[in-house]
Structure 1
Amino acid sequence: MGEFHYVRTPMAEWDAELAKIKASGIDIVATYLMWNYHEEVEGRFDWSGDRNLRAFVEAAGRHGLKVFLRLGPWVHAEVRYGGIPDWAVRSMPTRGDDPVYLRHVERFWHEAQKQVQGLLWRDGGPVIGVQIENEYNLRGPGQGASHIATLKALAVQLGFDVPLYTVTGWDATVYPHREVMPVFGGYPDEPWGKSTGKLPPKETYAFRFGSRVSGDLGAQTRGGRTGDADGDIAHTPFLGAEYGGGIPTMYRRRPVMQPDDIAAMLPVQLGSGVNLYGYYMYHGGRNAIGRTTLQEQTAIGGYNDLPIIDYDFQAPFGQYGMANAVLPAIRPFHLFLQEWGTKLAPMAVRRPDRVPTGPDDLTTPRFSVRSDGDRAFLFYNSHIRQYPAAMQRSVRFVVDLPSGPVTFPATPIDIPADRYFIWPIDMALGATDARLAWATAQPLTTIATPAGHVTVLHAVPGIPVSLAVRAAAVRARGARIDRAGDVFTVEELKPGTNAMIDIIDTRGRRERVLILTQEQARRISKVTVAGTDRLVMTEDEIAPTPNGMHLVSRGDPRFTFAMLPAATVVKGTLPLRAAGQDGVFTRYTTTAPTRTYRVTMKPLRPAGVASPVQIGGPAKAAVEPYPESFTTAAAWTLTVPPAGPAAIEDRRLVIRWAGDIGRLFVGTDLIDDRYFDGRSWQVNLRRFDGRLGQPLTLSILPLRKDAPIYLDEAAIARRGDADQVASLDSVQVETDYGLDVSF
């Protein structure tokens, strides 16, 4: 499940973005209903344009996605007052059974229910569940579990009749048992935290045995007691809703995620028993500006400061829909779950004999097993953000199963640091009676081809591939194969698009096993095009279309993709060239006409001396400077040429800069903003092409060396050693190219 906020992305882009989300392996889209977006003025509801909930749910259904509505009424979402409108916050108690508050909640939910009428699961629609409130741990008169019960009863009364009702299960949450189910999460850093230094190793990277509740996920209230979720383990499935697909950049903490920081969480949480991996966020977005800015900020009592507009979240798909570097790292796990999830779901978690003493134990191996009878998967992780774990030397695993212990691999191996994977034990191979007894390669997916059915696995860098197969015969070119009875051990196979193993079962049926490299696996998508499932290997963004697929190449006019199985006829909106075989894949290439654009950059005003960053707000930590502070911002005028008639996907303004806060204006209208964290700032221009006849203004508030904020080491190096910095290093336009392929 991946979170995608419809109100934070233009309606015109929903179909394209949902298609990419589906193609990346997501099954369910979750979305918050932000009350203040729909009833900013009391009694005036707006469900039009980018706020059209019904159109969004219908679009998700068209793309084969189920929908989970997170109703609130308080949602957090790093939005002003947690989504509750200003007029409500000013005039009544909220988040409790106050009758005035409940009357307004009922009116809002009644309007929301009309938007999804006929689209619920019972009606054949995509909406399978609703979440009540968020991060709720308030106790007192009219609060606590009874308030959640009140809200659920109200939702049911209004017609939200769905299979699943959930609440968030962390930070001492309270809820009525057997009425709602807790959902869980975890993040690789805490941008809402107060520390200006590197955090201790996060428990997000440690397997969970006996508890589902992660540490502080940033609830803005404190319950003060143990919550209800762990006491409900025997009665509820282990569902996730907020495992970080990235993290937001908040004013006082600005950590930058690496792909492994996010991807390593998947085998840990799945190996801890999670049966619904829910990302927050999966697709970034932007806040609208209405009567107020809709950002969360300490100036109005919020716990955090965030940019006015930017909500990129470092998510797999960012604010403008561009795939971030984390997407290829997580997609192989999505393919695994789509193929073997129904086998994994009933498997129980097995705790190893020896486990780490705590999150800061970096020497004890971290792994778990989930099994159902003799079938099992082993989950392993040695990646901990910002901390080097120990290499594990001369490793063999021993897993006790009903039919006896399984010891593998055949030859001891060294497992380097920063590795994470899922390995199979006693896994079926296609429709044969052959079994994969074990493998030191991760299952990826399966695919039917004219040459036979193929099970695809991928190697783990630095670990030699070996596997044991129970079958009548096994053949593999370039590998060493040893046989003991009906068990064939395959070693010394070099992973790649040619690393094929042929397996014959006891009835003469054939299965093929392909072992890719991890790099190749991270470029694989499985999409249905022209009525046939195909594996598409490409570095480009991919989304299926009614007649084929759409590819986006960011900043490079060249396209290359490979398919298995190949299609008889392949056509493109650019002239495609068959580039021959890449192992068992067929490769195609093409190049779009190159379009370049030059930005004119002119200084407008120099930076003044920035005032010291103040400490304050509920967190008693660094707070975003007040608007008057921006009189010290440096500014430049940027002139961007129009796109012209060229058929291109989009253009991106790539800004390399250093400072505290950057803001980009058309005239006096703010169109984007960013807190400096060391990364380049990218602004897609298609949304603003109609306004580029006038210059843009870029302002950069200076960042003081003594600012009490957290930056990663790379950002500190970019900042330099001066007392303050407000520099614009370069501004470029990069062109993104699109290609439609039909079959």
Structure 2
Amino acid sequence: MNRPRDMPTKTLTVDASHPATTPRADTLRMGANTSPDGRTIGINSRYLTRDGEPWLPVMGELHYARVPEAQWDDALAKIKAAGVDIVSSYVIWRYHEPRPGQFDWNARFDLRRFVENCAKRGLYAFVRIGPWVHAEVRYGGIPAWVVDQVPTRSDDPLYLQYVQRFFAEIAAQLKGLLWKDGGPVIGIQLENEYNLTGPQQGPAHIATLKRLAREAGLDTPLYTVTGWDNAVFPRREVAPVFGGYADLPWGTSTAMSTPSEVYGFRFTSRVGGDLGAQTHNSEPGDADAVADETPFLGAEFGGGVPTMYRRRPVLDPDDIAAMLPVQLGSGVNLYGYYMLHGGRNPPGDVDGQESTASGGYNDLPIVNYDFQAPFGANGEAHPVLGKLRPLHLFLQQWGSELATCDVYAPELVSRGADDLETPRFSVRADGDRGFLFFNNHVRQHRMSARQGVQFAVKLATRTVMLPAEPIDITSGTWFVWPIGLALGGARLRYATAQPVTRLSTPDGETYVFSATDGITVEFAFEPGCVTRIAAADSRSLLTTDEVNGVLVARPTPGSVFIATCSDDTRITIITLASEDIERLSVLPFDGQRRLVLTDALAFERDGELVLRSTGVASFDLDVYPPLQHAPIATHAFVEAPIEGVFQRFAVSVPRVAFDVGVTRLRFAQRVPSIASGGAARAAVEPTPESFGKAAAWRIDVPEEALSAPGLSNAYLSIRYSGDVARLFSGADLIDDHFYNGLPWQIGVRNVTIDPQQSLMLTVLPMRADAPVYLDARHDPRSAISDQVAEVLGVSWVPEYEVVFSRHVGG
């Protein structure tokens, strides 16, 4: 964006010149950290290490018990393709020991098979063993027969006997799968949100749990606990992990949330705001007291939020994506999502959800746990995934460099979460290199636009001004820009584009960057490191000039240029517009890692390139570098002429369609006012008897549509207006949904539908005076005077799959 030269400039300054803190070893007593082949996982006071090198991984939560076991391998392959390194999962005790001494590790409860699948897909595993896990499950996952007998979450002797037996069973399942045995399990999380300090409680209880886990054989490189909400734990025995959520569905307000703290950089404390702990502690907790001994690790940065009865926020993709530059810029050295992949509570467990009726703080659906996560309850990709994946790829490529960087606050720091005027940014630096993190997005609140901005970053030996000319930054913009980044034989002084990944190709190194919307892309090269810059093809638009002795290249988004370095090597730089970067995956295929641009969900599975497209029977695929061998595919494709550097394919899939019949069975009766109560003293879910007043419809789906021939899946997409919807196959509840305005998607391969039984949909009416929070964009109450329970549409949506394989003769 060109600006008149006489407009005022606002220089945003940060002093990052003092040396980064030297990491200290041996501040934590962890477990066996060396695998049989000599590989190591370590931790120091500042970051994790892998084989002795700094490591900044991405971790994502998937609850194996909430996903059909037949879909685990598929789900993990998609997670791997999303740029995630570690899969974390709760071991939910109530599912595994429903009756004393009778354990179930079969089917979707087969922890061993799940972890083996993690290893198969090249993923590390972090096992969160509790025994109290929360997970929006009744009693935090502790079986009712335990709760009925003993004081839980304490050193009560009988409780510890039960825990010891449970941990021994977990250890038996994981035998041979721990890191020290050559397996993928690198960590154990103990308890969750533990802030209890009564008799037989406090830090000593966490120490007891760690001892019991180790005695059972759960010996891993890492032991963690959650550090928020005034958590307590024994110093040096565990590393606290942190998090934050874009909205608070466990809150009690029926109004739109005030600005969330997750969009403001943390310069004084790692502890976020309210994360929904079920217990309370008036003391400050232990997390900040050990900040100089432990790295800033995350485990629950919300990949979405759950839908709870009294609050039902709807998130936009940027609401989640804007958290990454903020948390990384605050010093996070492990970015952990909760949830990364949604799911459903196991079939038949009709009273296992957290509810006020069973003493919980919140009311959750009986079955559905979609979480608006990057991968939903059916494993479908939600739009936020395209925003997050480029940052995951960035961390895989440059996380080791970021991990060693300290956090430096700007000269002018925001006054707090509700300060929407002061610019929000930070620098993480180590010597004369680092990254600039900027955020101008706050969910549901408009940040001030920034006019005429330049950044002045004082490093160890110099000050870098960027960009070359002042820029305007609109509300909602966020980015990560590099300073002093080495690109092969060249070195950037700075770039006003976000680094994404690096590829080694037969023609040399290729670097991929993402343009920041509305801001001219600049690559400023240090003097003398580059001798020539040229566009790679006729479609690429590029200008260059010299600014204060620095060579500055300005490609337009979508352009590719080649820089010849002073050592005669060449590097290729691809700059993609944001709409293309959200379509980007980096996957191994035909002998090397390649860029894959497509609107479909793309992932690698056993050497094949898998593409899935929901509802669209044809789509494009762009690949770089071009394939060395002509591929074969399960469906017809056409290779289009190369545009720029990308090889292009157009894929056609035979369209499949089925009609769904919807027949009203009964109208809703008038429902009573929603009651308030429970521990939160707020709206509680209607009583079971109330659901007899729900409106009902029969849904007729052809039997062949349930088997979805030739498809990877198919979805019943239900649009309705009401309060609570439930879907039954015969008498079995197979899914449910608290109305939030989003389409309700039910994968026919994700639930058990008996083709010999009718499907029945019920919708409990939403009253005009319902004291619940709904996003204003989806709130029907302003248009009704009494109550509403209507089905707006039910459709059958196919999920097409195309598989590309390397030609056998290639």
TM bin, normalised by shorter chain, reads over 0.9
1:152 to 2:210 alignment: yes
C-alpha distance in structure 1 between counterparts of 2:368 and 2:332, whole Å: 31
Name the SS for the 1:46 alignment partner.
Answer: coil
C-alpha distance in structure 2 between counterparts of 1:603 and 1:247, whole Å: 32
How many Å apart are 1:407 and its aligned residue? Answer: 0.5
Of 469, 472, 484, the match for 2:525: 469
Structure 1 runs of 4+ aligned residues shifted over 3 Å read: 289-292, 687-690
How many Å apart are 1:717 and its aligned residue? Answer: 4.3
How many Å apart are 1:591 and its aligned residue? Answer: 1.2
Of 143, 157, 163, the match for 1:85: 143
1:694 to 2:757 alignment: yes
How many Å apart are 1:452 and its aligned residue? Answer: 2.6
Name the SS for the 2:335 alignment partner.
Answer: coil
How many Å apart are 1:590 and its aligned residue? Answer: 1.5
Q: Give 2:23's aligned residue.
A: none
Q: Give 2:597's aligned residue.
A: 537
Q: Give 1:441's aligned residue.
A: 497
C-alpha distance in structure 2 between counterparts of 1:33 and 1:673, whole Å: 23
1:393 to 2:451 alignment: yes
More moved, 527-536 vs 254-263: 527-536
Q: Give 2:677's aligned residue.
A: 616
How many Å apart are 1:721 and its aligned residue? Answer: 2.4
Query: Which amino acid counterpart does residue 660 of structure 2 have in structure 1?
Result: V
Does structure 2 conserve the Cα–Cα contact (< 8 Å) formed by 1:666 and 1:696? yes
1:673-709 CA distance string (max 9 Å, x none): 0000011111111345761233200000000011110
C-alpha distance in structure 1 between counterparts of 2:607 and 2:486, whole Å: 33
C-alpha distance in structure 2 between counterparts of 1:687 and 1:396, whole Å: 51
1:503 to 2:563 alignment: yes
C-alpha distance in structure 2 between counterparts of 1:419 and 1:328, whole Å: 16
Name the SS for the 2:735 alignment partner.
Answer: strand
C-alpha distance in structure 2 between counterparts of 1:560 and 1:143, whole Å: 58
Does structure 2 conserve the Cα–Cα contact (< 8 Å) formed by 1:719 and 1:725? no
Name the SS for the 1:643 alignment partner.
Answer: helix
C-alpha distance in structure 2 between counterparts of 1:365 and 1:717, whole Å: 36
More moved, 387-396 vs 468-477: 468-477
1:451 to 2:507 alignment: yes
TM-score (norm 2): 0.90
Does structure 1 conserve the Cα–Cα contact (< 8 Å) formed by 2:720 and 2:790? yes
C-alpha distance in structure 1 between counterparts of 2:790 and 2:572, whole Å: 56
Aligned length: 738
Of 593, 605, 608, the match for 2:654: 593
Q: Give 2:516's aligned residue.
A: 460
Name the SS for the 1:574 alignment partner.
Answer: coil
1:40-439 equivalences under 5 Å are 40-290=98-348, 292-430=350-488, 432=489, 434-439=490-495
1:609-688 equivalences under 5 Å are 609-643=670-704, 646-688=709-751
Query: Which amino acid counterpart does residue 333 of structure 1 have in structure 2?
Result: L
1:566 to 2:629 alignment: no
How many Å apart are 1:580 and its aligned residue? Answer: 2.0
Of 593, 597, 604, the match for 2:665: 604
1:706 to 2:769 alignment: yes
Of 766, 779, 786, the match for 1:723: 786
More moved, 444-453 vs 336-345: 444-453
Of 626, 630, 639, the match for 1:578: 639
Q: Which runs of 5+ in 1 are unaligned?
A: none
1:36-77 CA distance string (max 9 Å, x none): 000011110000000000000000000000000001000000
Task: Tell me: CA distance 1:207–1:584, structure 2 relative to 1, closer, same or farther (3 Å).
Answer: same
Query: Which amino acid counterpart does residue 311 of structure 1 have in structure 2?
Result: Y
C-alpha distance in structure 2 between counterparts of 1:656 and 1:64, whole Å: 38
Does structure 2 conserve the Cα–Cα contact (< 8 Å) formed by 1:71 and 1:130? yes
How many Å apart are 1:203 and its aligned residue? Answer: 0.6
Does structure 2 conserve the Cα–Cα contact (< 8 Å) formed by 1:659 and 1:719? no
More relative contact order, 1 or 2 (CA 8 Å, 6+ apart): 2
Name the SS for the 1:562 alignment partner.
Answer: strand
C-alpha distance in structure 2 between counterparts of 1:583 and 1:280, whole Å: 39
How many Å apart are 1:735 and its aligned residue? Answer: 1.0
Task: Tell me: CA distance 1:474–1:642, structure 2 relative to 1, closer, same or farther (3 Å).
Answer: farther
Name the SS for the 1:247 alignment partner.
Answer: coil
C-alpha distance in structure 2 between counterparts of 1:646 and 1:111, whole Å: 40
Does structure 1 conserve the Cα–Cα contact (< 8 Å) formed by 2:350 and 2:366? no
How many Å apart are 1:479 and its aligned residue? Answer: 2.5
Name the SS for the 1:691 alignment partner.
Answer: coil
More moved, 135-144 vs 717-726: 717-726
More moved, 55-64 vs 546-555: 546-555
Name the SS for the 1:387 alignment partner.
Answer: coil
1:710-743 CA distance string (max 9 Å, x none): 0000121477323110000111111111111101
Name the SS for the 1:502 alignment partner.
Answer: strand
Query: Which amino acid counterpart does residue 696 of structure 2 have in structure 1?
Result: A
C-alpha distance in structure 2 between counterparts of 1:582 and 1:294, whole Å: 54
C-alpha distance in structure 2 between counterparts of 1:71 and 1:688, whole Å: 27
Name the SS for the 1:619 alignment partner.
Answer: coil
1:216-239 CA distance string (max 9 Å, x none): 100000011101001111000110
Name the SS for the 2:327 alignment partner.
Answer: helix
How many Å apart are 1:510 and its aligned residue? Answer: 1.0
Query: Which amino acid counterpart does residue 514 of structure 2 have in structure 1?
Result: H
Of 556, 572, 576, the match for 1:494: 556
Q: Give 2:60's aligned residue.
A: 2
Q: Which runs of 5+ in 2 are unaligned?
A: 1-58, 536-540
1:170-208 CA distance string (max 9 Å, x none): 000000000001000000000000000011101100000
More moved, 525-534 vs 221-230: 525-534
Superposition RMSD on alpha carbons, in Å? 1.3
C-alpha distance in structure 1 between counterparts of 2:675 and 2:534, whole Å: 66
C-alpha distance in structure 1 between counterparts of 2:228 and 2:461, whole Å: 39
Does structure 1 conserve the Cα–Cα contact (< 8 Å) formed by 2:767 and 2:781? no
Does structure 2 conserve the Cα–Cα contact (< 8 Å) formed by 1:17 and 1:321? yes
C-alpha distance in structure 2 between counterparts of 1:376 and 1:57, whole Å: 36
Name the SS for the 1:637 alignment partner.
Answer: strand
TM-score (norm 1): 0.98
C-alpha distance in structure 2 between counterparts of 1:347 and 1:116, whole Å: 35
How many Å apart are 1:502 and its aligned residue? Answer: 1.7
Does structure 1 conserve the Cα–Cα contact (< 8 Å) formed by 2:405 and 2:428? yes
